[in-house]
Amino acid sequence: MSEQVDKKIQEGIKDAFPMADTTDWNEVYQRIIYRYSTPHGLQHVKEELYKLEDEGEIIVHHIKPYNDPVKMQSLNGTPKVIPTNKLWHHKSCGQCGHIPGYPTSVFWMMNKMEVDYLDEPHQTSCTGWNYHASGASNPVALAGVYVRNMWRAYETGYYPLIHCGTSFGHYKEVRNMIVLHKEVRDKLRPIMRKLDMDIVVPEEVVHYSEWLFTMSKKAAQQKKYDLSGIKAAVHTPCHVYKLVPEDTIYDPEVFQGRRPAAPSGTVQNFGAKLVDYSTWWDCCGFGFRHILTEREFSRSFALFKKVIPAVEEAHADVFVTSDTGCVTTLDKSQWAGKAHGFNYNLPVLADAQFAAIAMGADPYTIAQVHWHATDVESFMRKIGVPVDDYKEKFIQYLSDLREGKAEPQYLYTPHRKIDFYIAVPERVKWYKGQQIQK
The residue-averaged pLDDT of 226-252 equals 94
- Res. 418: pLDDT tops 80: no
Task: Judge contact between 334 and 345, C-beta under 8 A.
Answer: yes
> How far is Cα 361 from Cα 114, in angstroms, rounded to an integer?
15
Examine the domain organization and report whether 292 and 196 are in the same domain: no
| Residue 228 Cα to chain centre, angstroms | 24
Examine the domain organization and report whether 307 and 275 are in the same domain: yes
Domain of 318, CATH number, reads 3.40.50.11810
State the pLDDT at residue 5. 63
Domain of 110, CATH number, reads 1.20.1050
Residue 8 lies in a domain: no
State the pLDDT at residue 294. 77
- Tell whether the torsion through CA atoms of 96, 102, 103 and 107 is positive or negative: positive
Residue 283 lies in a domain: yes
Examine the domain organization and report whether 230 and 154 are in the same domain: no
Between residues 354 and 407, which one has the greater pLDDT?
354
Which residues on adjacent β-strands are paired with residue 80?
Answer: 72
Q: Domain boundary at 172, 202, 232, which?
A: 202
Residue 365 lies in a domain: yes
Examine the domain organization and report whether 105 and 184 are in the same domain: yes
Q: What is the domain count for the chain?
A: 2
Examine the domain organization and report whether 260 and 356 are in the same domain: yes
State the pLDDT at residue 30. 45
- Res. 419: pLDDT tops 60: no
Residue 279 lies in a domain: yes
State the pLDDT at residue 22. 56
- The pTM of the full predicted model, rounded to 2 decimals, is 0.86
Please name the amino acid found at residue 278: S
State the pLDDT at residue 39. 54
Lowest mean pLDDT among 194-203, 294-303, 349-358: 294-303
Examine the domain organization and report whether 185 and 241 are in the same domain: no
Please name the amino acid found at residue 63: I
Examine the domain organization and report whether 307 and 385 are in the same domain: yes
Strand order in the sheet with 70-74: 79-82, 70-74, 249-250
Examine the domain organization and report whether 113 and 149 are in the same domain: yes
- Domain region containing 62: 42-202
Lowest mean pLDDT among 64-78, 262-276, 357-371, 376-390: 64-78
Q: Domain boundary at 394, 410, 426, which?
A: 394
Examine the domain organization and report whether 198 and 228 are in the same domain: no
Examine the domain organization and report whether 198 and 244 are in the same domain: no
State the pLDDT at residue 423. 42
Residue 170 lies in a domain: yes
Please name the amino acid found at residue 119: D
Q: Domain boundary at 170, 202, 234, which?
A: 202
- Res. 38: pLDDT tops 90: no
Examine the domain organization and report whether 377 and 295 are in the same domain: yes
Residues 162-183: pLDDT tens digits? 999 889 999 999 999 999 999 9
Residue 14 lies in a domain: no
- Res. 28: pLDDT tops 50: no
Examine the domain organization and report whether 229 and 131 are in the same domain: no
Residue 422 lies in a domain: no
Confidence band, pLDDT 50/70/90 cuts, at residue 31: very low
Residue 10 lies in a domain: no
